[in-house]
Each structure stands twice: as structure tokens, then as C-alpha cells.
């Protein structure tokens, strides 16, 4: 697959990137190589390949889901300017 000079210039304009003629020529070659690599990857047979989340079969060690803090809601709400039914009241900012 190839990418045209006009496509590169159009993308550069949309991205607000200034490219000169030499850069366009280099980009045309480099992007063409990338697209050829993508074509090669797409031609690989993956029919019987099981999808995986990580190539190394890494297992995430998780800590136990335990409460480590004491409940201090009453102490925090005692110093709050306004509370009601266990909730903090704040001034209305949007009508």
C-alpha cells in the first residue's frame, strides 16, 4: 500500500504541521514502509490463535480487599460547615 504526496500534505495541513518538500518525500517513503508492514501483519494466519491480554501471561498480584482505616465520618462531619443525613451540603453553583 502506498500513500500519496497529496495525502501527506493534506494530513500535515489538518494537523497544522509545516513540512517542506524534502520532508514530504521522506514521509512518503517512511509511511509507505509502515503501511507495507501492516499489510504483512494482516496477511498472517490467525485463525486458530487464541486472543490474549498480555504476551507474557503475567498475573497481577492483588492485595486483600480489607478495610484498613477506621470510620471517621462523624469526626469529619462535625467540623464541616453544613451536613445533612450523613452528606456534605455545598452551595449551589449551577442554576
Residue 19 has a pLDDT of 93
DSSP summary character for residue 80: S
Domain ranges of the chain: 5-42
Copy the grid coordinates of residue 57.
Answer: 501471561
pLDDT tens, 22-31? 999 999 999 9
What is 5-42's CATH number, 3.40.1620, 1.10.20, 2.60.40, 2.40.10? 1.10.20
pLDDT tens, 43-89? 889 899 888 877 787 788 898 999 999 999 999 999 999 999 999 99
Amino acid at each position: 500500500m502506498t500513500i500519496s504526496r497529496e495525502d501527506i500534505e493534506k494530513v500535515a495541513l489538518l494537523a497544522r504541521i509545516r513540512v517542506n518538500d524534502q520532508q514530504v518525500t521522506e514521509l512518503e517513503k517512511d509511511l509507505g514502509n509502515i503501511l507495507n508492514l501492516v499489510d504483512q501483519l494482516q496477511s498472517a494466519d490467525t485463525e486458530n490463535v487464541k486472543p490474549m491480554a498480555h504476551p507474557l501471561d503475567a498475573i497481577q498480584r492483588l492485595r486483600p480487599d480489607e478495610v484498613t482505616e477506621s470510620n471517621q465520618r462523624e469526626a469529619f462531619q462535625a467540623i464541616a460547615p453544613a451536613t445533612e443525613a450523613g452528606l456534605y451540603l455545598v452551595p449551589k453553583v449551577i442554576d
